[in-house]
Amino acid sequence: MKKLGAISILFFIHQLIFLTACTPESNDTISFDKDIIDKHSQLFPLSMIPSAVEMVLKLNHKVPVDYYDNQKMWRNNRDGSFLNYDSVSVNGLRFYQKFNLNRGENFPIDQLFTTIDQELSEKRFVLISLNTNRSWGVYVIYGKTENGDYAAFTKAGKKTLMESSVKEIVRQMKGTDIMIYSD
């Protein structure tokens, strides 16, 4: 019985942390229904791109929460990239790959951050490819933290992972690509 109580407390703390992370810090943060993200899963180890697309579709109320068509088609595609979705319309949103450039000292990081800021100010999520200590993943940026960095989430199976050091990771990577969308 004590074990069940401890698990319940840990679950409550996790949900409180996630809810706090989803709370707007500024005008450049998008409020969203965290239940949509909690119910979403990354179905295959390599379906992170279509998983992120599906989360954006779900958060924009373009598909139901049980929608997984993109991941089911993609499965474990090793050769996929944001380019697969560039200029492609999916259920009412058209996606665009941006900053598909070589990473390095000449990568226009400030322009990348300006583009992300613009999308957030227009209340649009941004998909970003990150190499974190957990490995490569595709995150959905939803806003800014109190210190001006970006807040993002992704899924690893059913588990939701939060990241609040996106700018620092991008600087360490010396650039990355993003995906934006329009109605």
Integer angstrom CA distances of residue 8 from 5, 11, 24: 5, 5, 26
pLDDT in tens, 129-171: 999 876 889 999 999 999 999 999 999 999 999 999 999 999 9
Question: Region 66-92: what's the mean pLDDT?
Answer: 96
Confidence class for position 18, pLDDT limits 50, 70, 90:
very low
At residue 66, what is the residue type? D
What tokens were used for 153? 């989430």
Enter the pTM of the model.
Answer: 0.85
Q: Using an 8 Å Cβ cutoff, are 17 and 38 in contact?
A: no
Contacts (Cβ under 8 Å, ≥6 apart) of 105: 174
Could you say which of 3.90.70.30, 3.40.50.300, 3.30.300.30, 3.10.50.30 is the CATH number of the domain covering 2-182? 3.90.70.30
